[in-house]
Amino acid sequence: MKKNLGSIDRIVRLVLAGGIAGLFLANIISGTLGIILLALAGIFLLTSLVSFCPLYLPFGISTCKKD
C-alpha cells in the first residue's frame, strides 16, 4: 500500500473524527444520523492512521509531497 495522504489531510481527518465523536458523546447528534457519522469518523481515523485512502486510487489523487 503506497501512502497517498499528506500531513494536512491526515490532521484534518483526525480533527473531523474527534469532532464527530465529541458531538456524538455529548448527545448533540444521535439516532441513525449519529451512528452513520460515527462510522464515518471511524473511517477517517483509520485512514489517517495508515496514511492511505482507497477512494483516492481510482481518481489518482495523492496529497503526499513528491519525492
Give me the pLDDT at residue 67, please: 62
| Assigned domain for 13 exists | yes
| Assigned domain for 2 exists | no
* Confidence grade of residue 17 (pLDDT, cut at 50, 70, 90): very high
| Assigned domain for 55 exists | no
Task: Report the number of distinct structural domains present in the chain.
Answer: 1
pTM of the entire structure?
A: 0.87
| Assigned domain for 42 exists | yes
| Assigned domain for 16 exists | yes
Residue position matching grid coordinates 483509520: 46
Q: Are 39 and 20 in contact (CB under 8 A)?
A: no
- pLDDT higher than 90, residue 35: yes
User: Tens digits of per-residue pLDDT, 20-31?
Assistant: 999 999 999 999
- Parent domain of 18: 7-49
* Confidence grade of residue 66 (pLDDT, cut at 50, 70, 90): confident
Give me the pLDDT at residue 51, please: 92
| Assigned domain for 44 exists | yes
Calpha distance 43→20 (Å, rounded) = 12
